[in-house]
A and B are shown apart, each in its own frame.
Chain A
Amino acid sequence: EDQVTQSPEALRLQEGESSSLNCSYTVSGLRGLFWYRQDPGKGPEFLFTLYSAGEEKEKERLKATLTKKESFLHITAPKPEDSATYLCAVKGFGNEKLTFGTGTRLTIIP
């Protein structure tokens, strides 16, 4: 059974203070690892898909990386508008289902 564990559960940073969020996973054949951003009371918003170890993707202040066991979401010089819950999910072979972690709630303090 696919499993995803995210850490930390919550993270408070000062504006401009860079950090990383962790997503550890086990899956029987990785088809894709996905990062989403979710604002309170709203649907998850797609950020990145990573397909193989060593792959990296960037979008503004966010950079996602992937190894065979985990993924990191690096946040560089964050702003208050980056405050949200960040969700990691995996999709394995032979399975259309996404298995989600419980998320990291990120708060950026001005």
Chain B
Amino acid sequence: EAQVTQNPRYLITVTGKKLTVTCSQNMNHEYMSWYRQDPGLGLRQIYYSMNVEVTDKGDVPEGYKVSRKEKRNFPLILESPSPNQTSLYFCASTRGRGYTDTQYFGPGTRLTVL
């Protein structure tokens, strides 16, 4: 089954404690991205990756890092989380440049930073 998976699904942490949210897709997609969703603000892109070892900032990258060492995985790293990073996070993937395919989304990770 074609899918995007994320782990963990729920996470409660404290300010400053480094965390990683994993994302994996099994569709051999080149393009992957991370979004956060906040009430009244909609989905906003944090970072994206066009392919292995190619990443770039989206609209709200401050406080986040990403890496793309393998095509299927795109982890999101919060090195020093703060309460304003409390949000619902989604990973998404699509075939990539030259295609007009939609993006397929993971199930979401609800993060609470105390």
Contacts and interface: CB of A to CB of B under 8 A. Distances in A.
Interface residues of B, number: 28
A62 to B, nearest CB: 15
A87 B102 CA distance: 13
Contact of A31 (B4, B33, B100, B106): B100
B106 A43 contact: yes
Contacts of A98: 43, 45, 92, 103
Nearest to A96: B31
Interface residues of A, number: 22
Interface string A16-40: 0000000000000001101010000
A97 B40 contact: no
A102 B105 contact: no
Given A31-B100, A91-B100, A97 B45 contact: yes
Given A49-B102, A51-B100, A43 B42 contact: no
Contacts of A34: 102
B12 interface: no
B104 A46 contact: yes
A69 interface: no
B108 interface: yes
A54 interface: no
A44 B49 CA distance: 20
B61 interface: no
Contact of A96 (B40, B43, B48): B48
Interface string B91-111: 010101100111111111010
Given A91-B100, A102-B41, 8 more contacts: A31-B100, A43-B107, A44-B90, A44-B105, A45-B105, A46-B104, A96-B31, A101-B42
10 contacts: A36-B105, A43-B90, A43-B106, A44-B90, A91-B100, A96-B94, A97-B33, A97-B58, A98-B43, A98-B92
Interface of B: 4, 31, 33, 40-45, 48, 50, 58, 88, 90, 92, 94, 96-97, 100-108, 110
